[in-house]
Chain A
Amino acid sequence: MLKFLLAWTIALVPPMMLTSARAQTAPRQQAGAGENQKPAPAPRHDISGIWDPGNEGIQPLGPRAMPEDGKPEHQVPYTPLGLETLNSHKPSNGIRSVLPADTNDPVVLCDPQGIPREDLYELRTTQILQTPLSVYVLYEFDRIWRVIWTDGRDLPKDPEPRWFGYSVGKWEDDYTFVVQTSGTDDRTWVDRAGRPHSGDLRVEEKFHRVDHDTLELTVTINDPKMYTKPWVALDKLHFTLKPPNFDVREMMCSPSEFAEYNKIIGKPASGQGPQ
């Protein structure tokens, strides 16, 4: 009964209201540590906190480990369908970029980014909260949050598509939390470069807490319809722990602001209207 009540209490509390004691951990150094001392060791089974990837999380050309820059080593292994779908996507950054008014990037319409793109574009300061049954991730971009279930459930076998799919997570070891996600709506793009995915997409996110103040994220894309083999989009992207009282900025996609931007800058710059 107690477990039942606990589960419902947690499910009903808006995640923004959760104040996990773990999430309040401040950057710490070992006792007597000076500026050049090492951070304290990572706590066990704990990735909570406010984490900052710096500018490296912005990823305008596509994910850091696989930007779409034309280099052979950054070519992802498309299937014929993957390549055909890629070519129908018109990004506004990277080597295939089009004029601002010509893009069909769903983000320009303020559509949700989904998973994995939330990790792979405009990844800013990120707050992670843990409960006994789940992990919540709160993203700065669009103030979006998602839940990763840790209660032992499996991913749904035939999921109804969701913008953010369905996520379950397990501790691989004391400091490594591995998340599997499926069911992401195939209207989303994998990244800013327009890499596509199907409804069969599986995403693995590996959060590794290196020490008290450092978290690394590795993201692997697996979608046999679009890619002939899995590929690594992020390889140990580095996050630094912020103080627990850090006020995360607001970064919203506002349709009215977007419309004003396009009227003043985007369309004139694209030859599609007077300034």
Chain B
Amino acid sequence: MKNKLLTIFFGLLTVSVPLFAHHGAAAYDTSKKITVKATVTEWVWSNPHCFLKFDAKDEKGNVVHWATETSNPSDMVNLGWSNQSFKPGDEVTVTFTPVKNNVPVGRIDQVVLANGQIFKARVVFKSADSTP
């Protein structure tokens, strides 16, 4: 019982947050989340952030060319991502936070491949003290 309580306690201290250590969150509208079915056009594996470019239709059926970022390769490797995770033409479902100024730029929460594999983009901290 004591161990179970300790597990719950430390579980509460663990926080999972999107981490964009070089550029922060000031540009993003964190009150919004968008999920779209999309076709990957480019997956760029680089510092300070990786980014996924994809095409997705808006509500009027027009194709929008999105550019969305993740954290850096070191963090993404720890989360199970790699430079091989996506290739042009992949059909994916992307959930992301858009920027405030309505250009097609966002930061990724997760990407789901057509086979159901999920890539989550949130870095886990032990303590809320580090929450950006």
Query: Which residues of A are interface residues toward B (Cβ below 8 A)?
Result: 54-56, 58-61, 64, 67, 91-94, 97-100, 103, 107-108, 121-122, 124, 140, 192, 249, 251-254, 257-258, 260-261, 264-266, 268-271, 275
Contacts and interface: CB of A to CB of B under 8 A. Distances in A.
Contacts of A124: 74
Contacts of B127: 56
Interface of B: 19-28, 44, 46-49, 51, 53, 65, 67, 69, 72-75, 77-78, 99, 101, 103-105, 123-127, 129-132
Interface of chain A: mostly helix, strand, loop or mixed = loop
Contact of B51 (A93, A121, A261): A261
A98 B74 CA distance: 24
Given A91-B24, A100-B24, 19 more contacts: A55-B125, A58-B21, A60-B130, A61-B131, A97-B24, A97-B25, A97-B26, A98-B26, A99-B27, A122-B21, A192-B21, A260-B44, A264-B44, A265-B49, A269-B101, A270-B27, A271-B101, A275-B103, A275-B104
A63 B24 CA distance: 15
Contacts of A271: 101, 103
25 contacts: A55-B123, A58-B75, A60-B20, A60-B24, A67-B129, A92-B23, A92-B24, A93-B132, A94-B132, A97-B24, A100-B24, A103-B23, A108-B22, A124-B74, A253-B48, A254-B46, A254-B47, A257-B46, A261-B51, A264-B51, A265-B67, A265-B105, A269-B105, A275-B67, A275-B104
Contacts of B25: 93, 97
A94 B72 CA distance: 19
A191 B72 CA distance: 19
Contact of A64 (B28, B53, B77, B130): B130
